[in-house]
Structure 1
Amino acid sequence: MSAQHNELRVGMVGYAFMGAAHSQAWRTVNRVYDLPLRVRMAAVCGRDESQVAAAADRLGWQSHTTDWRELVARDDIDVIDICTPGDSHAEIAIAALAAGKHVLCEKPLANTVAEAQQMAEAARAAQADGVRSMCGFNYRRVPAVALMRQLVAAGRIGTIRHVRAVYLQDWIVDPDFPLVWRLRKDKAGSGALGDIGAHIIDATQFVTGQRITRLNGLTETFVTERPLPAGSSGLTAAAGGGADGAAPATGAVTVDDAALFMARLDGGAIASYEATRFATGRKNGLRIEINGSLGSVAFDFERMNELEFYDATRPSAEQGFNRIIVTEPEHPYLSAWWPPGHGIGYEHSFTHQARDFVEAVAAGDDPAPSFTDALQVQQVLDAVERSAGLGEWVAVESAFSTAPS
């Protein structure tokens, strides 16, 4: 960390969807929050020289490179922000931690439990030298979700009985949608399960303070072959090349399109989860409901500035779900934004993530969720795949025994 200039100099690997979201956060965070360190967007890395140069200009990075190893070795970089597909997370993160760089890594932490374990071990070793690391589960930074956690922790819904979580999308319903990297196990690790299921696993464990211990899972792939993307390389075609009116080349979909599982949590609650990219008409339908002995709370990302709260301790004539507009300055993260009633959006969750990361690094604290927290989510993902293969309940391996952070 550049204490002389009171800066935190960031190098980011990857510049597509998540890279753009993270760039927005790094550009914005010091303009919104009064932080002890000023972020400098030092460099962005990507494989294609012309495209990464254009991304650096568009997203606000001071320089660019096509070699992440060069980025990790630079003396003027304090943080490595990893926004690449999951197959490269472990190699980049472990190298960065060994070089003394703080690391922010997008979720899921890795493609396999073994890789996630290596990353968690590297993070623990680096921690002794003051090097910090965090996994990017941005939905826990949505103010309404953070408020859910506060209400649950304060005992407002009593003993938790039920947890219900769904994450519904529809962007691959069309069977002619191409075989992008998210549909390849070697690149993504899993499909809807890891891509969006990981979010609701983390969010529910964050809100309830309970971890999933046992589960019974089901996965399904509805479209098993898809057209190869234009200019794709390294893929094995299953059909002709598409010339002269021939059918386009296709490749095998090697991940799940949908995943469902029932679960038991270590605090006694039971839970159900559904993650799919085949919910026709649903674009980003993340919904969580927690039912307790004294009340319930529910969140729907399509109404992300609202929280539903049912207080069963109220007189029967006054009972019913209350709609809380989560825009007050005393609500989590919102003191620096707009006047009450003026909502925020998806991108703000990444700004909140950057704020928490910068504050933790400046204070010498460990930000949450840690790589060990993210390893536990990876173990849940692995258990769902094992259970789906066996057709029976399985136990989730535990990275540790403390409550979720």
Structure 2
Amino acid sequence: MTTTGPDTNRSGRPLRVAIVGYSFMGTIHAQAWTTAPRFFDLGDGVEIVAVSGRDAVAARAFADRFGVADVETDWRNLLTRGDIDVIDICTPGHLHAEIAIAALDAGIHVLCEKPLANSVEEAERMTAAAERAAARGVQAMVGFSYRRTPALAYAKRLIAEGRLGTVRHIRALYLQDWIVDPEFPLVWRLDADQAGSGALGDIGAHIIDLARFVTGHELTGVSALSSTFVTERPLPTASSGLSATADSGSGGSADGDRAMGRVTVDDAVVFIGRTDGGALATFEATRFASGRKNAMRLEVDGSLGSIAFDFERLNELQFHDHTLPAEESGFRRILVTEPQHPYAAAWWPAGHGLGYEHTFVHEVTDFARDLAAGRAPEPGFADGLLVQRILTAVATSASADAAWTPIPH
């Protein structure tokens, strides 16, 4: 479908945003859009004009919470309103492609949560739609929010300035423990039809993108192993406060008085790779690291130094300068809260740290500024497609008992 998009002349009026999805990620994005113009100069500001979700009552509660006027129970209605500049997609992955392609073809900018899609074929179609739209001045970005963590943006700056020399090792981990309990319900993130993959796509996508972003290297091939440790889980109930769609396709069986469903995604994945810059890379993504809540870690070792980062201490970067005399060398802690650090000047006095939600504020700020300047935002859908190809290569290798799998570029 191709329609006439909204008026691109925004002089004197705010950027008008519609959010599709009102659960955890929709809430984070709504908070970001609401906060961004209060701390960053976004010209005429931002307004969330509508939220779309299948449950009208839940969507209305979300809208009231964030002061949003309109609720749509069918996202397609957003395309023909004529008063929306951006559609922000915060749904499960199986819905990304249809919504994004329709919005871009309708002349509406798109911010889409990661991973971009559930398959390479979907990501390719989305990227083609983004390229068509860009020719008309309509932009698309994929939401790898961790790029906007000040410490990681600063790490990228150090590497780009040559402070680490030749990059030789990349070590990336994402460790969580929220489904260690086998009684945890079968939510949509454990259903391949909706999520595409498990820890691989949900959190592995983040560390793949960060390795690319921080180092500038691209993976050329991988060898992987994956495992599903708990193969059946109780189906969610209304009292659990969790949900999975009725048509999840995950199957079911009776276990005593409980209705059980089959887990169809990976619980954990490990893989090694080689980059086009000659570095060796190791990755691990798991939801079964007991005691680790959101331990996203990145280490990069070079000929002149190293950096190390842990998101559970997200305001800090560890830096080792190997050019110093041995008696002075070692890792030192950099508190990344000075006004000279990325994004930090907009916030609090030095030493007053930021949190998880700030990465999303930075993300929508960069996106809004790129739209105002008429430039392509980063990461674009082409970046999302490349990450999808890496995810697919990892899954292919794991299914073939760690066979070396090249990555097409």
Shorter-normalised TM range: over 0.9
Amino acid at match of 1:122: A
- Is the 1:9–1:78 contact (alpha carbons within 8 Å) kept by the matching residues of 2? yes
CA gap 1:230/1:4 in 2 versus in 1, 3 angstroms: same
CA positional deviation for 1:335: 1.0
- Is the 1:37–1:358 contact (alpha carbons within 8 Å) kept by the matching residues of 2? no
Q: Tell me the distance in 1 between the aligned counterparts of 2:117 and 2:70.
A: 27
Deviations 1:250-297 (A, max 9, x none): 111000000110000111101000000000111001000000000000
- Is the 1:172–1:277 contact (alpha carbons within 8 Å) kept by the matching residues of 2? yes
Amino acid at match of 2:327: A
The alignment partner of 2:258 has SS state of coil
Q: Which residue of 2 aligns with 1:146?
A: 153
Residue identity over aligned pairs, in percent, reads 58
**Is residue 343 from structure 1 mapped to residue 353 from structure 2 by the alignment?**
yes
Q: Which residue of 2 aligns with 1:234?
A: 247
- Is the 1:37–1:362 contact (alpha carbons within 8 Å) kept by the matching residues of 2? no
- 5+ unaligned residues in a row in structure 2: which ranges? 1-7, 239-243
Q: Tell me the distance in 2 between the aligned counterparts of 1:180 and 1:255.
A: 11
Amino acid at match of 1:263: G
After TM superposition, list the pairs within 5 Å mapping 1:386-405 onto structure 2. 386-391=396-401, 392-398=403-409
Deviates more, 1:114-123 or 1:383-392: 383-392
CA positional deviation for 1:119: 0.2
CA positional deviation for 1:345: 0.4
Counterpart among 39, 50, 56 of residue 46 in structure 2: 39
Give the structure-2-normalised TM-score: 0.95
After TM superposition, list the pairs within 5 Å mapping 1:3-402 onto structure 2. 3-230=10-237, 233-235=246-248, 237-240=251-254, 246-391=256-401, 392-398=403-409
Q: Tell me the distance in 2 between the aligned counterparts of 1:279 and 1:133.
A: 34
Amino acid at match of 1:396: I
The alignment partner of 1:296 has SS state of strand
Q: Tell me the distance in 2 between the aligned counterparts of 1:76 and 1:178.
A: 40
Amino acid at match of 2:205: A
Deviations 1:10-42 (A, max 9, x none): 001001111111011100010000123411111
Deviates more, 1:64-73 or 1:353-362: 64-73
CA positional deviation for 1:5: 2.8
Deviations 1:173-212 (A, max 9, x none): 1111111000000000000000000000001110000111
Q: Tell me the distance in 1 between the aligned counterparts of 2:344 and 2:116.
A: 28
- Is the 1:239–1:247 contact (alpha carbons within 8 Å) kept by the matching residues of 2? no
Give the structure-1-normalised TM-score: 0.96
- Is the 1:23–1:60 contact (alpha carbons within 8 Å) kept by the matching residues of 2? no
Amino acid at match of 1:50: V
- Is the 1:108–1:378 contact (alpha carbons within 8 Å) kept by the matching residues of 2? yes
Q: Tell me the distance in 2 between the aligned counterparts of 1:239 and 1:255.
A: 18
Q: Which residue of 2 aligns with 1:403?
A: none
The alignment partner of 1:368 has SS state of coil
- Is the 1:237–1:249 contact (alpha carbons within 8 Å) kept by the matching residues of 2? no
Amino acid at match of 2:100: A
Q: Tell me the distance in 2 between the aligned counterparts of 1:262 and 1:271.
A: 6
- Is the 2:11–2:44 contact (alpha carbons within 8 Å) kept by the matching residues of 1? no
CA positional deviation for 1:2: 4.9
Q: Tell me the distance in 1 between the aligned counterparts of 2:227 and 2:201.
A: 14
- Is the 1:2–1:78 contact (alpha carbons within 8 Å) kept by the matching residues of 2? no
Q: Tell me the distance in 2 between the aligned counterparts of 1:152 and 1:4.
A: 39
Q: Tell me the distance in 2 between the aligned counterparts of 1:50 and 1:201.
A: 37
Deviation >3 Å, runs of 4+:
none
Deviations 1:31-70 (A, max 9, x none): 0001234111110111001110001111332221111000
- Is the 2:16–2:84 contact (alpha carbons within 8 Å) kept by the matching residues of 1? yes
CA gap 1:37/1:362 in 2 versus in 1, 3 angstroms: farther
- 5+ unaligned residues in a row in structure 1: which ranges? 399-405
The alignment partner of 2:323 has SS state of coil
The alignment partner of 2:169 has SS state of strand
CA positional deviation for 1:108: 0.0
**RMSD, aligned α-carbons:** 1.1
- Is the 1:228–1:237 contact (alpha carbons within 8 Å) kept by the matching residues of 2? no
Q: Tell me the distance in 2 between the aligned counterparts of 1:37 and 1:153.
A: 34
The alignment partner of 1:249 has SS state of strand
Deviations 1:348-370 (A, max 9, x none): 00000011000100000000000
Amino acid at match of 1:52: A
Q: Tell me the distance in 2 between the aligned counterparts of 1:229 and 1:35.
A: 42
Q: Tell me the distance in 2 between the aligned counterparts of 1:28 and 1:191.
A: 31
Q: Tell me the distance in 2 between the aligned counterparts of 1:61 and 1:218.
A: 45
- Is the 1:97–1:122 contact (alpha carbons within 8 Å) kept by the matching residues of 2? yes
Deviates more, 1:60-69 or 1:281-290: 60-69
The count of aligned residue pairs is 394
- Is the 1:2–1:9 contact (alpha carbons within 8 Å) kept by the matching residues of 2? no
